[in-house]
A and B are shown apart, each in its own frame.
Chain A
Amino acid sequence: MLNRRSFLNYAGMAGAGVLMNRVNPDFFIGTARADVTKPMTFLSAENITGNWDPTAHTTLSQTTIQGFVMGYLARAPMRPEDPQAMEMELATELNLLDAHRFEIKLREGITFHDGKPFTAEDVKATFEYGAQPDRPAQWYPGPTDSFEVTTPDDYTVIVDTTKGGYGAHMFYFLTAYLPIMSAKDIAEGPKGALTQRLNGTGPFKFVEQRGNDTVMEANPTYWKGDVTVPGVVYSFVGDATTRMLSLLNGQADVIERLEPEQLETLVGNDEIKLSKLVSVENKYLWFRCSKPPFDNPLVRKAAAHAIDRELLLEVLGDAGAPNSNFISPIKFGYVELDNYPEYDPEECQRLLAEAGYPNGEGLPELEYITSTGFYPKTKEYGEVITALLQEQGFPVTLNVMEVAAWNERLYDRPGGGPGHMIDCGWMAGSPEPDLVLRTHFHSSSKRICGIVDPEIDAALDAERNAPSLEARKEVLATNLMPLLADKVPALSLFTSVMIHAMRSEYDGLFIYADGLMDASKVTSAA
C-alpha cells in the first residue's frame, strides 16, 4: 500500500531518473580550461540576425562574421594615411572602361568552401541578387534593372550602368564591401542554403551556430596559403564588464567596443594589447525632418549651432574623434566643410527668431531619444546635448532607452519617426560615401531623418552621375556636402574611434576600419 514515505521514495527515484535524462553528465567532468592552441575567441557587443543571407541585414556583428568566412573582390584597409587604398583579393584588376562600363578581372583557381569553383557567374549572381529592391541591405547605387552584368569569359565581369544613367565608378569602392556569394546558393532561392549557413572563399569555414557562439574552422584550401589559427569562435556577450573580465582571465582573445574607462583599466596591463582606429562610423543627431518643428531647416540649423561638439569629445575621451562633415574622414570625398555648423549661441538665437521661435518660445515639447548599452557614452553626451539645447530655449526631454526599445523607434515612418531627435551611428565598411549619404538623405531612402528635399535629391543624383571618380569628388566637395551642411537633416557629432583589446600573446591580427578582422595570419608567442 502506498504511504507518504514510500510515495516520497518512489517520487525521489523517478525524479532522479528524469534529471539524469535532462542534465548533461559532461557538466561534471568537462575540463575547465583549454590549451594555447585553441581556436581564437572573439566577443561581440551585438547579437546576430536569424538569417545568414548577407543581403538580409545591416547588422555589424554579422558583417564581422562574414569577414572571416566570405571573400571580397577587393579590401579597403581605410587607414588615415591612405584612406582610398584598395587591395585586390578575388579580383586582380578593377578597370573603369568608360563612364558607364566597369570591368572586373577575377583571380583563377579559387573555390568556395563547398567545393564549387569561383567564377564570373558568382559575381554576376551576387550583384543581380543583392540589388533586388526587396533585399534589406540596400547597398547598390540602383536596383537590378538599372545595370547589366555580362561575363565575356569565366574570369571577366563587365558592369554596364547605362540604363540607370549613373556612373559605373559607383561599383569601384563597393567591391570592397560586397561579400561574394555562390551562384549555386543564390539559385536555391528563399529558404535555400544561402539563409542556413555562410559559404564563402575566405580563410575560415562556417561550421555551426551553437547558441550565441558562431563556430568557424580554418579553411585548408585558402587561396592565400596556410591559415595559422585552427578556428574562430565569435560570441555575443551583451555586458561590457563581462567581456573585459573574459579577456582578462584568458577566456576571450579579442573584445570590441571598449568603454573609455575600460581602456584606462587595461593600459599598462602586460597581458593585453590595445588597438585604437579611427573608424568608418560617424555618430549623428538625426532630426525628424518630416514633422514640426524640424521640418524647418532654420530650426535644425539653430539646434546644430546650440551644440558644442568639443564638449562631447571631452565626455567621449578616446572613443571619439572630431569631424566636420557627414562622413568619416576615411571615406572617399571627405573634406572639412567651411560651413559646417559650429557652436554659436548667437547664431542659434538669430535662426530661432527668424524661424518664428524667439528664444525658443512657441516650440513644442521635444523628445530626444538615445540608447544605452551599445554605443559608448550615449547617455552621458546625450545629457550634455540636452542641457545645451535647453540653454538656448529648446524644450527638450532626453529619453534613454535600452537597445531594443531604441531600435524599435529608430527609423522613419509615415508622418515622421518617433520623437523629434534620435541618436545613432552609421557604419559601412567601404570608402564609398553613398552608403551613408544616399542611404540617409535621398527621398527614396531617408532611413532615419525622413527628409524629402528636391535640392538634396538633385545634388545626390549629380554626384552619382558624375562621369569619373575625380569629377565625383569635386561634386561632392563643392555641391552636395555644403548643401547638406546648410540644410542639416542630421548633425554629425563625431567620428567613432573603434577600440579593440586582445591578448598580448597574439600577433598579426588585422582590424579594418569597420571592425572586420583578418585572423588568417595570427601567430601566438606561446
Chain B
Amino acid sequence: MFILRFLLRRLAQGALIIFLVSALIFTLLRVVPGDPVRLMAGGMAPEALIEQIATDMGLRDPIPVQFTRYMSGVVQGDLGQSFVRPANGAAVGGASFDDSTRSARAEVWDLIAETAPKTIQLACLAMVFALMIAIPIGVWGGLHPGGWPDRIALYCSSVFVSLPNFWLGIMLALLLSVKLKLLPAIGYGGFAWTILPALVLAIEIAPFIIRSLTVSVAQIMGQNFIDIAGVRGLSRNQIIFRHGAKNAAVPLLNLLGVQFSMLLGGVLVVEFIFDYPGLGLLTINAVMQRDFPLIQGIAIVTAAAFVLINIVVDLLSTLIDPRLEY
C-alpha cells in the first residue's frame, strides 16, 4: 500500500509540475519576439499570406484557447507536428514561400524518440565517467577531513568547475581526436562518438559529486556507530565500504538524480560543440527556428523525465535507508 500511495501522490505532483512547465513554456514562446509563421512561410511571403497561415493554424487565437487545444492533444499522446522540419528529420531553414509542394512535416514525438536515446546514452556514460573521477577523490578526501587528500579534493573540484565546457570540449577534441587520433569527435557514428562529449560533461559534474561525497563521508565517519564498528572487530575497509559508503550514498543518490535530469535537459552546449545529434542539439535548432511544437514537446518530455527520475531516486533512497519517508 505504501508503494501505491507513494506512486499516486508523486505522479499527481509530477503531472501538476509538467502542466505548469507546459503552460509556462507555451506562454513564453508566444510573447517573446519572433513570428514562427514568418520563418515557416519565408521572408518573401506577403503579409496577407502570413496572417492567413497563422489564422489557419490557430496562432492568432487567445493563448488560453491555443493552450487548451494543445494540451488536449498532449493527453492523447499527440505532441503535434514540427513547424519546419520535414519527415526525414533534417534541420531546415530558408524556405522562400508557403509553397504547396513542401513535403510532410515531422511528428514531434518521432523527432524526440530518435534523438533521446543518444542523449540518454551520453548522460549515462557521463555519469559513469563522473563517478569514476569523483568517487576515489571524494571518498579519499572524506576519510581525511582537513588533511591534504581533502585539500586535493577541493582543488580538483575548483579546477573542474572553473573550466568552461565549450573550451574544454574544443581542447579535448584537439588533443584526443586531432593530435592523437584516438577518438572521433564530431557527429555520431557509434558508441565511440559518445566518449569525448561524455568526458567533458563528466568533468563538469564531477566537482559537485566530489564535494557531496567529501562532506557526507567525513560526516558519516565521525558518527558513533563507525567508532563502535571498530570495537566490533570490523576491518577498516569493511567499515568504510559496508557502513560508511552505504550511508553516504543517500545524499549522493539524490545529487545524481538531479544531475542526471540536468544532463537530459541541459547538454545544449556540449551537443552543439560536438554536433552530437541528441536532444540538446534538437533543442538549439528548434529555438533558432522558433519551432514552437518541438520546443514544447522537448520541454514536456524532459520535465516528465525529471519527475520520473526523482521518483526512482526517492524509491532507491528508501531501499538504502528504510528510515526515510517521502
Contacts and interface: CB of A to CB of B under 8 A. Distances in A.
Interface of A: 2-5, 7-8, 11, 19, 22-24, 26-33, 46-53, 56-59, 62, 134, 136-137, 190-192, 194-196, 208-212, 214, 235-239, 241-242, 245-246, 248-252, 402-405, 407-411, 413-414, 447
Contacts of A49: 92-96, 102
B86 A50 contact: yes
A246 B39 contact: no
Nearest to B91: A47
A212 B91 contact: yes
Contacts of B102: 49-51, 56, 195
Contacts of B61: none
Interface of B: 2-3, 33-35, 38-39, 42-44, 46-47, 84-86, 88-97, 99-103, 105, 113-114, 116-118, 120-121, 170, 173-174, 177-178, 181, 183-187, 189-194, 272-275, 277, 284-285, 288-290, 312, 315-316, 318-319
A408 B91 contact: no
6 contacts: A8-B315, A22-B113, A29-B191, A30-B190, A56-B96, A408-B38
A252 B38 CA distance: 34
A32 B94 contact: no
A27 B178 contact: no
Contacts of B46: 414
A265 to B, nearest CB: 11
Nearest to B102: A51
Nearest to B190: A30
A33 B182 CA distance: 10
Nearest to A22: B117
Contact of B33 (A134, A237, A242, A405): A405
Given A22-B117, A33-B184, A48 B90 contact: yes
A8 B190 contact: no
Given A30-B192, A47-B92, A212-B90, A242 B186 contact: yes
Contacts of B114: 211
B94 to A, nearest CB: 4
A134 B46 CA distance: 12
Contacts of A245: 170, 173-174, 177-178, 185-186
Nearest to B113: A22
Given A49-B92, A57-B95, A241-B273, A32 B47 contact: no
Nearest to A250: B181
Nearest to B1: A2
Nearest to B177: A249
Given A11-B312, A32-B184, A402-B288, 9 more contacts: A5-B319, A19-B120, A23-B121, A30-B189, A48-B94, A50-B105, A53-B101, A57-B95, A238-B285
Contacts of A402: 288
A218 to B, nearest CB: 21
Given A23-B121, A32-B190, A408 B92 contact: no
A30 B191 contact: yes
B96 A404 contact: no
